[in-house]
């Protein structure tokens, strides 16, 4: 199978040096193997996505010298696809509707217990308040969650290959870890066709992605993705989680760090080669 990778930005702010590194590294890896490099716009959160950020993404990436096949996959066009994946998980009894708000979850989580993690890769670990609600009871204000105990019952030997520098090797999924330290993740958020976890696995499969190249901050979410791939009958790609670009104080860059926006460097006269050098790819 030929190497196929993607860059999958969310149009919720300007691309910064961290995105440039991710986009360029994935492209370099595809070129080195004569593979394919695809773009995907992760605009599933329509309350935060903005057309001007999407336009700026195309402009910045072209300026960096990147090219990709058209048409570009956009999550906002694919809600029916995520709905079908959700239906499949519901049909095998692995999902439930949840009406808890953040405050309810915090209150139900109770006092911290030693050795029991409070946060996992999907945020605060859900205490299970709504777990026995049937899907037939789902209302418009609910999110849909995965019943992790059930989803990992009789889990076969699953895992993934990581080629990134920090965790290179084979990583086996652990039922104990998934139940204790990840918990009942959200499959569909309010007003959205799917959650990040659900849409990313469906999209990677539909784009034929063989190698996922992305930031180290998503390493912890990868076992969720491998589990969902298994439950949905989708292939598991190879993963490459790269280092994060940090600011002078060592803090990782966020969308609001406009000071590091590619467009800012462009307006100050930087060249694409300067950007490559700044992220250590020069």
- Interface residue with ligand GLU, options 5, 9, 78, 184 (CB under 6 A): 9
Closer of 42 and 184 to ligand GLU (Cβ): 42
What are the strands of the beta sheet with 159-162, ordered from one edge? Answer: 169-172, 159-162, 238-242, 211-215
Calpha distance 194→189 (Å, rounded): 6
In the region spanning residues 70 to 89, those forming contacts with ligand GLU, defined by CB under 6 A, are: none
Q: Choose one: 3-11, 24-32, 86-94, 233-241; the region binding ligand GLU (CB under 6 A).
A: 3-11
Q: Provide the minimum distance between the beta carbon of 96 and ligand GLU in the complex, in angstroms, as a whole number.
A: 25
Q: Is 202 near ligand GLU (CB under 6 A)?
A: no
Among 218, 231, 232, 278, binds ligand GLU (CB under 6 A): 218
Q: Among residues 61 and 138, whose Cβ is nearest to ligand GLU?
A: 61
**CB 189 to ligand GLU: min, Å:** 14
DSSP 75: G
The count of chain residues that interact with ligand GLU, using the rule CB under 6 A, is: 7
Q: How far is the CB of 229 from ligand GLU (least distance, A)?
A: 13
Give yes or no for residue 27 binding ligand GLU (CB under 6 A): no
Q: Which residues are CB-contacts of 205 (< 8 A; sequence separation ≥ 6)? A: 229, 232, 234, 235
User: How far, in Å, CA of 59 to CA of 70, rounded?
Assistant: 15
Beta strand extents in the chain (DSSP E only): 4-7, 36-41, 73-74, 95-98, 119-120, 123-124, 143-146, 159-162, 169-172, 186-188, 211-215, 238-242
Among 159, 172, 158, 168, which residue's Cα sits nearest to residue 240?
A: 168
CB of 22 to ligand GLU, least distance (A): 8
Tokens of 21: 């590194």
Q: Out of 16, 145, 211, 214, name the contact with ligand GLU by CB under 6 A.
A: 214
Supply the minimum distance, in Å, between the C-beta of residue 84 and ligand GLU.
20
* Alpha helix ranges (H) inside 93-233: 102-109, 148-151, 175-177, 196-206, 222-232
Among all chains, which residue has been given the structure tokens 């995520």? 82
Taking CB under 6 A as the rule, does residue 95 contact ligand GLU? no
Q: Is residue 10 within the footprint of ligand GLU (CB under 6 A)?
A: yes
Q: Is the peptide bond before 71 cis (omega within 30 degrees of 0)?
A: yes
Would you count residue 184 as binding ligand GLU (CB under 6 A)? no
Position among 66, 200, 227, 262 found at the interface with ligand GLU (CB under 6 A): 200
Residues contributing to the site for ligand GLU (CB under 6 A):
8-10, 42, 200, 214, 218
């Amino acid at each position: 199978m030929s190497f196929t990778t993607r860059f999958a930005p969310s149009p919720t702010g300007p691309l910064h040096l961290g995105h440039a590194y991710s986009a360029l590294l994935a492209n370099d890896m595809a070129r080195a193997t004569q593979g394919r490099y695809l773009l995907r716009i992760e605009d599933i959160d329509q309350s935060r996505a903005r057309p001007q950020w999407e336009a700026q993404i195309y402009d910045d990436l072209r300026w960096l010298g990147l090219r990709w096949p058209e048409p570009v996959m956009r999550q906002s066009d694919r809600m029916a696809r995520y709905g079908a994946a959700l239906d499949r998980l519901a049909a095998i009894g692995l999902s439930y509707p949840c009406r808890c708000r953040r405050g309810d979850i915090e209150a139900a989580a109770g006092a911290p217990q030693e050795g029991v993690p409070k946060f996992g890769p999907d945020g605060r670990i859900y205490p299970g308040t709504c777990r026995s609600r049937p899907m037939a009871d789902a209302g418009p204000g609910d999110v849909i969650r995965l019943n992790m105990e059930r989803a990992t019952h009789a889990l076969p030997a699953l895992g993934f290959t990581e080629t990134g520098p920090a965790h290179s090797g084979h990583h086996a999924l652990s039922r104990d870890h998934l139940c204790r330290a990840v918990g009942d993740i959200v499959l569909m958020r309010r007003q959205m066709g799917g959650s990040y976890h659900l849409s990313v696995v469906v999209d990677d499969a539909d784009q034929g992605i063989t190698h996922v190249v992305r930031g180290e901050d998503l390493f912890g979410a990868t076992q969720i993705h491998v589990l969902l791939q298994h439950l949905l009958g989708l292939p598991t790609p190879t993963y490459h989680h790269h280092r994060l670009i940090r600011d002078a104080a060592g803090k990782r860059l966020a969308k609001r760090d406009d000071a590091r926006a590619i467009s800012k460097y462009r307006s100050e006269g930087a060249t694409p080669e300067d950007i490559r050098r700044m992220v250590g790819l020069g």
